A and B are shown apart, each in its own frame.
Chain A
Amino acid sequence: MAFLISFDIDGTLEFGDPPGGITVEMVRRAQQRGFLIGSCSDRFPSAQRALWEAREIKVDFVAAKHMLPDIRSRFEATKYLHIGDRDLDQQLAEQAGFEFFWDHEGVAEPWLAWLDEHAD
């Protein structure tokens, strides 16, 4: 059983511009708990990759924000989640069949509860 989280960068992650509330530590924790993680942002893909590499996080995917449907088609998962700070994030997430959390909702790491909910 896999869960996938897509993070927007600017306004969402702590290293975004402007910084958001989701910390690198939260991302690491999700990855360590088995989540497929990556970013879908308006930063261009090579820049996203460089940002993750600078933090020594090996993500499963990076993509332009409007490519969420492509991410969904590439990965088999029980749940798909996108976290962002703009109406556009919400709109694109919903169109792609992702659940959506606002950046401020994400700081509580609600996705961790999914592990218990879906435990065998």
Chain B
Amino acid sequence: MAIPIAPYAWHRNREGLGIWEGRGRVVATGVGTSPTARRWDEKPDTSMGALTIAAIRRAIEDAGITPDEIDGIVLTPESTTGVSNDPNAPAPVGWDSVFKMVDYPQAGITRGDIDWILLNMPELKNVEFKMNGPVCMSVAFTTAAEAVSRGLTKTCLVVRGWHNLAGRYYVGQGAAARDTAAGPGKYGSIWGMPACATTAMVFEEYCNKYGKSHEMMAPFIVEERRNGLMNPDGYYTQHRPEMITVDDYLSGRWIAKPANIYDNDLPIQAALAVIFTTPELAAHHKQKPVYILNHAQTRPELQGAVPALNEWERASDRMGRMLYEGAGIGPEDVSFENMYDGFTLFHQFHLEGLRFASRGEKRGYALDLYQTDISIEGPNPVSPSGGNNGNGRTRWWNHRDCILQIQGRSPSQISRKAEIGISGAHVPNYCDALVWAASAD
């Protein structure tokens, strides 16, 4: 039977809904992160599926619980935004001697699959609640939060793996992959526009409107890499422990000016699993519970084929208002923000939507904020996780770090008290975000 996705009504995508009914009734405890790799070497034990299993086992161990306590899984099945195999491509030779197979031949290779996980993790014998959180792990997190708050699962795994095959990430996609181009792609991607191009256009519009420049991004880029290199689980720490300088950043090759190569995140292989449960059950978990105060969602309502500045500002403003309304807090309560950064040039839209570290400004202040102390030691920690830019492309380092910060065990722990943090992904008008807190109040 096909794994369902969350009903539309679960997503908090309107203002005026009031305090979230599940506020303070769902917590995160255990976190498990797999090893990382730049690309898959086609061996079963380094596959996305194997990494996913490793992450799940680490999360269960980290929570200090037993596998039979897990009664639910929410998973993001898509494991790349880049190149994948044909869905019907057979598994490589030797695969079936390591893993049991479901009907879908690419399960565990280029697509996450709950049934494949359960078949290969017999210790998860009590899972009854199964749901997919499509496209982004943010959706898996919000879906799992709703599922726990509604009593559909008591101890739930939230899971996402990423694969990265040999070759180039976006080669053979878009216009290059089709005989004809249809849908919005016929306007946006027919000439092979790189993925960061739309972000670059909106960023250019932002700079023109507020009198900013690409050079002003440099402190943020440097700080993110610094934070990422503190993370022993990050790709760069494990494989390329290279610190970037302002000069390095400014020397980058334009991919779609004003987006350069270092504004683009590096695709990797990795997996993350997190344990969600109730505050009552978390009492016997090893890790401090991190409360979810609210979640919210934006989806595109575009006037054209590509987003414009006013649309991204409107969407991220609305995200900020929805998050604060449902959590019963305001911008002044937020200790740190871990909004999405891959591409780096849209991070400031998220940040401004939250009014993070605003001194009354509404828009056009983030790049000025970047020129101040945004380090983890400072008063306004921006992206303390280091995000995709500091750790490799996953879209979940930011969520993971919100949990670890509030538990007081982040490798890039902020100096100020981490009481409330916000994470969300991905682009400003297609975003699912959560408010994480040290207490339910």
Q: Please list the residues of chain A having a beta carbon within 8 angstroms of any beta carbon in chain B.
A: 17-18, 42-47, 50, 63-67, 86
Contacts and interface: CB of A to CB of B under 8 A. Distances in A.
Contact of B252 (A50, A64, A86): A64
Contacts of B247: 45-46
A21 to B, nearest CB: 15
A44 B253 contact: no
A86 B261 CA distance: 15
Contact of B239 (A17, A46, A67, A86): A17
Interface residues of B, number: 19
A67 B251 contact: yes
Nearest to B242: A47
Contacts of B244: 44, 46-47
A43 B242 CA distance: 10
Nearest to B38: A17
B332 interface: no
B46 to A, nearest CB: 14
B240 A64 contact: no
23 contacts: A17-B38, A17-B239, A18-B38, A18-B39, A43-B242, A44-B242, A44-B249, A44-B262, A45-B247, A45-B248, A46-B243, A46-B245, A46-B247, A47-B240, A50-B242, A63-B251, A64-B251, A64-B252, A64-B253, A65-B253, A66-B253, A66-B254, A67-B251
B248 A42 contact: no
A43 to B, nearest CB: 7
B261 A46 contact: no
Contacts of A43: 242
Given A17-B38, A17-B239, A64-B253, 13 more contacts: A42-B253, A43-B242, A44-B244, A44-B252, A44-B262, A46-B242, A46-B243, A46-B244, A46-B248, A47-B242, A47-B244, A50-B242, A66-B254
B251 A44 contact: yes
A14 to B, nearest CB: 15
B281 interface: no
Contacts of A18: 38-39, 166
Scoring A42, A44, A63, A67 by chain B CB atoms within 10 A of each residue's CB, the highest score goes to A44
Contacts of B38: 17-18
4 smallest CB-CB distances across A and B, nearest first, come from: A44-B248, A47-B242, A66-B253, A64-B251
A114 to B, nearest CB: 29
Contacts of B245: 44, 46
Interface string B253-290: 11000000110000000000000000000000000000
Contacts of A47: 240, 242, 244, 248
Interface in B99-124: none
A18 B268 CA distance: 12
